[in-house]
Structure 1
């Protein structure tokens, strides 16, 4: 997989209280491209972070309906991936590139 394709698959790490808790059990959360498959995500994480991925779970997040100045609008849908690493492996998601 080319380097450009790898960077298009994984958009950004998701950082929240929930993701901080599941990092204790070697699981990390990333925002990924809508068309990315589990295999694409696994190979992208393994090559970008030099780690061994055990499993990948993917889910689609529906965008919220919002109003702004009396106009109805909708945030976009996006995709989230839960990546479980092998024992002893870690990723520093707070590091700047």
Structure 2
């Protein structure tokens, strides 16, 4: 379960929650099937689609930070992740 770093909370990701899509930053070496099984096991939901893109590492004075992947995960209708829905309601 170390592959999922954290949930992304931005304006776009909060808009996607209304479409039953959730955004997570994950380790760049994780596969799509691993991420799908981790999300289904951790949150008890069914995943129907996953989109991903790699974000570059940021430059620092002494090198750079590691790059990571951002996954947009679409859940089946009727499923949701409650902790992220509560964040969306607070911002409205």
Length-normalised TM-score, structure 2: 0.81
Partner of 1:37: 31
Distance 1:46 1:88 in 2: 14
Offset of 1:58 from its aligned partner? 1.5
Question: For structure 1, which runs of at least 5 residues remain unmatched after alignment?
Answer: 1-6
Aligned to 2:72, what secondary structure does the other structure show? strand
Distance 1:75 1:50 in 2: 32
For these two proteins, the number of residue pairs brought into alignment is 85
Distance 2:79 2:37 in 1: 15
* Larger gyration radius, structure 1 or structure 2: 1
Question: For structure 2, which runs of at least 5 residues remain unmatched after alignment?
Answer: 87-92
Offset of 1:46 from its aligned partner? 0.3
- Deviation digits for residues 44-74 of structure 1, max 9, x if unmatched? 00000000000111210012335xxxx5753
CA-atom RMSD, angstroms?
1.8
The question of 1:50 aligning with 2:41 is answered: no
Length-normalised TM-score, structure 1: 0.77
Partner of 1:86: 76
Runs of 4+ in 1 over 2 A off after TM superposition: 63-66, 71-76, 92-95
